[in-house]
Amino acid sequence: MEHPPDDPKPEEHNGFLNRVAGYNPQRSWRTWLIGHPLPTAAAPHQTVSKAVGLAVFGADALSSIAYAPQETLVILAAAGTQAFGYAFPISLIITILLAIVTISYLQTIHAYPSGGGAYTVVKENLGVPAALVAAAALLTDYILLAAVTVASGVAQIVSAFPELFAFRVWLSVGLLVLIAIANLRGVKESGNTFAAPTYFFLGMTALTVAVGFIRYLSGTLGDVADPPRLESLHTGPITLFLLLRAFSNGTTALTGVEVIANGVRSFREPRTRNAAVTMIWMSTLLAVLFLGIVYLLGVIGAVPSETETVISQLARTAFGSRGVLYLGTITATTVILILATNTAFAGFPSLSAIIAEDGFMPRQLTFRGSRLVFSRGIISLAAVASLLIIVFNASVTALIPLWAVGVFLSFTLSQAGMAIHWWNNRRPADKRLTNKEMKHPYDPGWRWKLIINSLGAITTAIVTLIFAITKFTDGAWIIVILLPALVISFYRVHRHYVSLAQDLSLEHYGQPPPSKRHRVIMPVSAVHQGTLEALDYALSLSADVTVVHVSIDPAQTEKLQHNWNWWGKGVRLVVIDSPYRTFFEPFLEYVNELCAILQPNERLTIVVPQFIPKHWWHNLLHTQTAFWLRFALLNKRGVVITEVPYQVR
């Protein structure tokens, strides 16, 4: 007997009844907000060209042009405007750092053509504990990436429309919510969404820098007209510590560089080559624009401020007014920052799903929502990032110190993992391949590659340390405490799942003989139709039924006893006097006494008549006995609580 595969009628399959749910999702506010549910079979896969890949995976890194120069200047401002001269030399060092990190990641692209996220690389080469440290760093990074980029995007908007300054926190939270909704719908990382804004941004930024330089060389580029007030009133000396702090802030320009290496799998074949070429292009563009902007900012005497970004100051000075080109630059910068936020929304949920799959985070995070996205991860990210924005008052400068220490820690671990990877591949292949050696194919260039990744690891480790030390009191201490706490909680979650699996395991499980006696007790306060229905149910479970009445009002008790003689079907009634007018304590005491004398294979079921009113608000007019009873007896072994609902017609 055969049915067509989509027939909803039951069919025999492997000897079991098998059916397909005929459930058809209904339209509701939920489908309106996040779209109609998608069946599991609809999961897509597509690849991108180099040009689109630059837009999709480069948006995060390129967007750092929007905040890294500003955050460098903010620190230098503490020593007065004359310290701004140090910004360009610092930027040169950062560009060298960018080159080292880029070359290191180019090797990751070749070694991990299916995507070399830090968690994967570190787990494979340095083991699980280090991978969990990287995971903790990456998760906090994603959260801070979302908070910083949205706050920075809003700072651009506020620069153009100063009257919105008072609403920047709620603008940021609103934007985060919109991005979260878009991701709950399932934003495809497709060219349509990313290509146009990213290239618009690149074009506008390049135009700003180009016009700036032309006017600078022709001598027509003046200072910023009407610059914002310098906020730092305290003018200290220029110390090495100050310069290192400025350098730390500037290194945020490197955030997002690793994204292309994570996404190799999405490139068109030959994918490793295409990804590598894209990465070189991206780093070059980033370096040129970053250096150009920092240089011009020094020329025009831009002033870092919460009310107007330096990008805004540069654009209106270069273009000579707040005209169309100015607004184009600000719009492009805002949009790219929001696209960068989306990197967090793509990365956080899928990383937490991978960690949850390994049993280190709640399993629910692996569940794909109605639109096939990891909805719980998306919502968690939006919630935590919103909280950060509210707490830090949407200030990019306040959020930055928390951020980059985690980014560079994950860089360091990832590069160290790569170095170990090459070390493992140092032996030439021979005929007697063991299983372990199969995993580590010989690479003739292992020496050079080891050196490059080691250099990457050491440089980023130094930056991590500089960042942690110079930013410690500004907020980096939060991360220094948070990361170990996260790693510990990963382990506690893991221990729970492992010990649960052992406890529930059927290995060595001598199934106990089925229970023989079934004792039923049922609390009653009065005799009515609901009580009798529950009594009927109780008698269907067992012949050993005891009805228990906790006496608070003697008159009510007497009435109950009278009625029980008539309606109680001869079932045993126990009356417990409660001198303190409480129901739970005497009843629980009775249950505990019974449990103490329960035999090994005897069961105790508590049947609670539960009245279900017509309107939900009627519940306020009744005591929710069963609910509290279940709560109180949660940890009693062998006790089952059954609510027998009684619905009023």
CB of 526 vs a copy of itself, minimal distance in Å: 8
Helix (H) or strand (E) holding 302: none
The reply on whether position 540 binds a copy of itself by CB under 8 A is yes
Stretch that binds a copy of itself, among 11-19, 125-133, 162-170, 421-429 (CB under 8 A): 11-19
Report the site for a copy of itself in 313-372 (rule: CB under 8 A): 362-364, 367-370
Q: Which of 541, 595, 598, 632 binds a copy of itself (CB under 8 A)?
A: 541
DSSP E strands, 431-495: none
Which residue, among 522, 521, 531, has the nearest Cα to 559 in the 3D structure?
Answer: 531
CB of 179 vs a copy of itself, minimal distance in Å: 24
CB of 132 vs a copy of itself, minimal distance in Å: 17
Q: Which of 187, 280, 539, 594 binds a copy of itself (CB under 8 A)?
A: 539
Residue 172: exposed, middle, or buried by beta-carbon count in 10 A (0-12, 13-18, 19+)?
buried
Q: Which of 550, 591, 604, 629 binds a copy of itself (CB under 8 A)?
A: 550
Stretch that binds a copy of itself, among 149-157, 257-265, 390-398, 494-502 (CB under 8 A): 494-502
CB of 585 vs a copy of itself, minimal distance in Å: 4
Which residue, among 10, 50, 60, has the nearest Cα to 191 in the 3D structure?
Answer: 50
CB of 636 vs a copy of itself, minimal distance in Å: 8
Strands 544-551 and 11-13: unpaired
Q: Which of 383, 461, 493, 632 binds a copy of itself (CB under 8 A)?
A: 493
CB of 442 vs a copy of itself, minimal distance in Å: 35
The reply on whether position 12 binds a copy of itself by CB under 8 A is no
**Rounded Cα distance, 34 and 30, in Å:** 6
Which residue, among 603, 591, 596, 518, has the nearest Cα to 550 in the 3D structure?
Answer: 591
Stretch that binds a copy of itself, among 158-166, 271-279, 417-425, 489-497 (CB under 8 A): 489-497
Phi and psi torsions of 35, nearest 5°: 95, 165
**Rounded Cα distance, 384 and 134, in Å:** 19
The reply on whether position 37 binds a copy of itself by CB under 8 A is yes
Report the site for a copy of itself in 627-646 (rule: CB under 8 A): 630, 634-637, 639-646
Q: Which of 217, 240, 506, 543 binds a copy of itself (CB under 8 A)?
A: 506
Q: Are 272 and 264 a contacting pair, CB within 8 Å?
A: yes
Helix/strand/coil for 640 = strand
Angle at 452 (CA atoms; ends 447, 455), nearest 5 degrees: 120
Q: Are 242 and 82 a contacting pair, CB within 8 Å?
A: no
Between 426 and 618, whose beta carbon lies closer to a copy of itself?
618
**Mask: binding to a copy of itself, 508-537, rule CB under 8 A, as x and -?**
-x-xx-xx--x--------xxxx-x---xx
Between 167 and 491, whose beta carbon lies closer to a copy of itself?
491
Between 241 and 367, whose beta carbon lies closer to a copy of itself?
367
CB of 380 vs a copy of itself, minimal distance in Å: 12
Report the site for a copy of itself in 82-141 (rule: CB under 8 A): none
Please report the DSSP string for 153-168 in residue order: HHHHHHHH-GGGGGGH
* Residues in a beta bridge with 608: 643
Residue with the two structure tokens 């690849």:
47
Q: Which of 2, 163, 430, 503 binds a copy of itself (CB under 8 A)?
A: 503
Q: Which of 1, 4, 23, 434 binds a copy of itself (CB under 8 A)?
A: 23
CB of 600 vs a copy of itself, minimal distance in Å: 13
Size of the site for a copy of itself (CB under 8 A): 97
Token code pair at residue 545: 């039924």
Between 12 and 231, whose beta carbon lies closer to a copy of itself?
12
Between 231 and 577, whose beta carbon lies closer to a copy of itself?
577
CB of 634 vs a copy of itself, minimal distance in Å: 6
Report the site for a copy of itself in 552-581 (rule: CB under 8 A): 552, 561, 563-565, 567, 572-581
Token code pair at residue 469: 């030390």
CB of 32 vs a copy of itself, minimal distance in Å: 17
The reply on whether position 612 binds a copy of itself by CB under 8 A is yes
Between 278 and 605, whose beta carbon lies closer to a copy of itself?
605
Between 394 and 527, whose beta carbon lies closer to a copy of itself?
527
Between 43 and 233, whose beta carbon lies closer to a copy of itself?
43
Q: Which of 28, 114, 218, 505 binds a copy of itself (CB under 8 A)?
A: 505
For the chain, the C-alpha Rg in angstroms (whole number) is: 33
Report the site for a copy of itself in 235-294 (rule: CB under 8 A): none
Residue 29: exposed, middle, or buried by beta-carbon count in 10 A (0-12, 13-18, 19+)?
exposed
Which residue, among 405, 411, 424, 546, has the nearest Cα to 478 in the 3D structure?
Answer: 405
**Mask: binding to a copy of itself, 583-602, rule CB under 8 A, as x and -?**
--xx--x-------------
Stretch that binds a copy of itself, among 236-244, 266-274, 417-425, 603-611 (CB under 8 A): 603-611
Please report the DSSP string for 177-233 in residue order: HHHHHHHHH-----HHHHHHHHHHHHHHHHHHHHHHHHHHHTT---PPSSPPPP---
Q: Measured between alpha carbons, how far is residue 331 from residues 156, 287, 454 in Å? A: 8, 22, 40
**Rounded Cα distance, 150 and 244, in Å:** 26
| Greatest alpha-carbon span in the chain | 109
The reply on whether position 39 binds a copy of itself by CB under 8 A is yes
Between 38 and 207, whose beta carbon lies closer to a copy of itself?
38
**Rounded Cα distance, 245 and 243, in Å:** 5
3-state DSSP of 329-380 = HHHHHHHHHHHHHHHHHHHHHHHHHHHHHCCCCCHHHHCCCCCCCCHHHHHH
Between 223 and 589, whose beta carbon lies closer to a copy of itself?
589
Stretch that binds a copy of itself, among 84-92, 396-404, 459-467, 500-508 (CB under 8 A): 500-508
**Rounded Cα distance, 634 and 626, in Å:** 12
